[in-house]
Amino acid sequence: MPSLIAVNRVHGFLPTPKGGQTAIDKRPVPGPVGVGPLGLEGDRQLDTAHHGGTEQALYAYAVEDADAWSADLGREIPPGLFGENLTTEGLDVTHALIGEQWRIGEGEDAVVVEVTSPRVPCVTFQDRMGEPHWIKRFTERGAPGAYLRVVRTGSVEAGMPVTVVRRPSHGVTLQQTFPRGEPAVMADLLAAERAGEVRLDPEMRRHAELAVSRQG
């Protein structure tokens, strides 16, 4: 059964290439961690113009994708290295649908999250990895991980089961929207939103509208 293998929270702030600071240094924490509308209790996003908010409250990455990177790069990719809050096992994050919902844990305190968009790599991520052409390589791999909005608050901890509880019928996956979705694919997303099937992240909606306008 799919599960969380790590819950990762900011460990410390690091300098960025542009002279600022970043909270990308996430590391596993033991025990239960509260989850609110803006993500993990005690976590931080410093570049709030590009990260965080309710539409990017949490970032999830699959250990299977991290292991593939580890094999390619010849180095360990421990939980949290990519800045993810939730490291999953047995869950096909790359092919999750936009608007797909996951229940984390069981019972009244179970958290429910919804997939909103793929992670777009940035210069800070490239600096963190120290790998040449990292932005290009990460983009070409097509395994971006998932940004999540919090539908139901609660608490999470390593070892909890993760259950897919809703899959929209539009069929559009994270991978299909990354880095730039095909017009027909993005048109399907917009149609699904008009039908009330999904609520798009405003940035995702903007990208979808641009894609469709390019087709016209």
CATH number at residue 11: 2.40.33.20
3-class secondary structure, 84 = coil
pLDDT tens-digit map of 14-71: 888 888 899 899 999 999 999 999 999 999 876 656 667 999 999 999 999 999 999 9
**Domain membership flag for residue 204:** no
**Domain membership flag for residue 43:** yes
Q: Name the pairing type of β-strands 162-166 and 101-104.
A: antiparallel
3-class secondary structure, 210 = helix
**Domain membership flag for residue 38:** yes
Number of domains comprising the chain: 1
Give the residue-averaged pLDDT of 60-86: 98
* Contact present, 128 and 121 (Cβ < 8 Å): no
Tell me the two tokens of residue 178. 């990354």
Percent of the chain scoring above 90 in pLDDT: 88
Q: Which residue has the tokens 């017009």?
A: 183
Expressed as residue numbers, the domain containing 81 is: 3-168
**Domain membership flag for residue 185:** no
